[in-house]
Every structure is written in C-alpha cells, then in structure tokens.
Chain A
Amino acid sequence: KAGVTQTPRYLIKTRGQQVTLSCSPISGHRSVSWYQQTPGQGLQFLFEYFSETQRNKGNFPGRFSGRQFSNSRSEMNVSTLELGDSALYLCASSTVQGLPREQYFGPGTRLTVT
C-alpha cells in the first residue's frame, strides 16, 4: 500500500507571497492532519480534516488554512508569507474507525521563505 505523499518536497517563496501544499493520504484513510516543524517551536499541530470538514485546529493565525477534497486529498494554504513560516510541513493520515487513531506521516514539504 502506498504511503502518504506530499508535493512539492521543497519550495522557496518570497515574503508576502502565498503557497499551497498538497497531501495524498494512504488509500482508505479519511482523516488528514497537518503539522509544522521548526527548530524553535518543534512539532505543532495545525489542523485536521475529515470528510471535507475541519475537525480540529491548532493555535495558528488565520493565514493558515486548509481543505480536503472528496477523495480525501488535502491542501493547506499559507497566505502573506512571513520569514517565520519557514518550516517543514508534515501531513499525516489515519483511519477514524475505532481507537487508537494511529497516524502515518508523509516525508514533508520543506518551505523556505526569503
């Protein structure tokens, strides 16, 4: 079974621009979560989507948004990029049937904002 895929793997953007990252979950997984990883703040939860609905949201400004499509693929968008948005963005997918909700992570998209 193919794992979680994220595109692109690397991205360089300029401050003030916007960016869209994509995540394709493992086949059959309907939940997709996003995390930001930085050296200073570590791994922080951004949001989770299930059945095209945002189920949970972390403590990030409104510039960070996401969506999920009917095939469970998810995108996250960051508008008006700031230097501090430079990070590794990780996507994780899971099944929501029963517990625990073991999550499988993709390789991440490394975003550099200059």
Chain B
Amino acid sequence: AQSVTQLDSQVPVFEEAPVELRCNYSSSVSVYLFWYVQYPNQGLQLLLKYLSGSTLVKGINGFEAEFNKSQTSFHLRKPSVHISDTAEYFCAVSDQNAGNMLTFGGGTRLMVKP
C-alpha cells in the first residue's frame, strides 16, 4: 500500500523568500510522484511530475522538486515566492499497479505574507 506524508500543514513565508514544502512517501514498487496546487474554490492543478529519469523536475510557476529515492522524498521548492502562490499544495503518488488512482498527502497551506 502507498502512503504520502506532508510534514507541514502550514508554511508561512514572506514574499520573495525561498520556500520548501516537504513530502515523503512509502511504496513497495516504483512510483510516479506529483505535486498539485489548489486555489480557493477551485480544483487541483498539476505543478510538476516525476516519472523517471532526472531526479530534478521543473514545473510551472517557477516550482521545482527533487526525487530522492534513498530518503523516499519529493520536496517542492521555489527560490522566490509571490503573494499569488498562496494556496494549498498536495503531494501525490501513483505506481504501475495503481492505475489512475492517486494517493494524496494531507496538504500544506502556503501562506505568503507581504
């Protein structure tokens, strides 16, 4: 069975500061990893995904994430955040046996302060 842990439920940060949102997963097989963002009253938007290959993945809006197999982590980073990045961020995992089923972490609320 898969599971995803997002270690921080809330992350406050000042505008233009760097941020890291942490994600750890557990799975018995090779995984696919995703980060989604959810703005208020909206659905989920894909930020980036790791399928295979390079462990550093770049996504939209300046976000990137690094897959670390030995630490079973997939942390999301942005070097300089904007007020508009305030949202809920979800890490998710799937694998070749799960079909289209995603297992989500509990989410991290990023709060960017001016």
- Interface residue ranges, A against B (CB under 8 Å): 4, 31, 33, 35, 42-45, 48, 55-56, 58, 90, 92, 94, 96, 99-108
A33 and B102 CA atoms in complex are apart in Å by 10
B100 touches A31 (CB 8 A): yes
B102 touches A103 (CB 8 A): yes
**B-chain residues with CB within 8 Å of residue A45 when the two chains form the complex:** 101-103
17 A-B pairs within 8 Å (CB atoms) are namely A4-B43, A31-B100, A33-B100, A33-B101, A42-B104, A43-B102, A44-B104, A48-B100, A48-B101, A56-B98, A56-B100, A92-B44, A100-B32, A100-B94, A103-B100, A107-B41, A107-B42
Nearest to A57 among chain B residues (CB) is B101
**B-chain residues with CB within 8 Å of residue A99 when the two chains form the complex:** 32, 51, 96
Chain A, interface SS category: strand
A43 and B105 CA atoms in complex are apart in Å by 8
B43 touches A42 (CB 8 A): no
A105 and B101 CA atoms in complex are apart in Å by 13
Among A33, A42, A102, the residue within 8 A (CB) of B46 is A102
Nearest to B43 among chain A residues (CB) is A105
10 tightest A-B contacts by CB?
A105-B43, A43-B104, A105-B44, A107-B43, A101-B100, A56-B99, A45-B101, A100-B51, A42-B106, A48-B100
Smallest CB–CB gap between B91 and chain A, Å? 11
B99 touches A101 (CB 8 A): yes
**B-chain residues with CB within 8 Å of residue A48 when the two chains form the complex:** 99-101
A108 and B32 CA atoms in complex are apart in Å by 24
A92 and B98 CA atoms in complex are apart in Å by 15
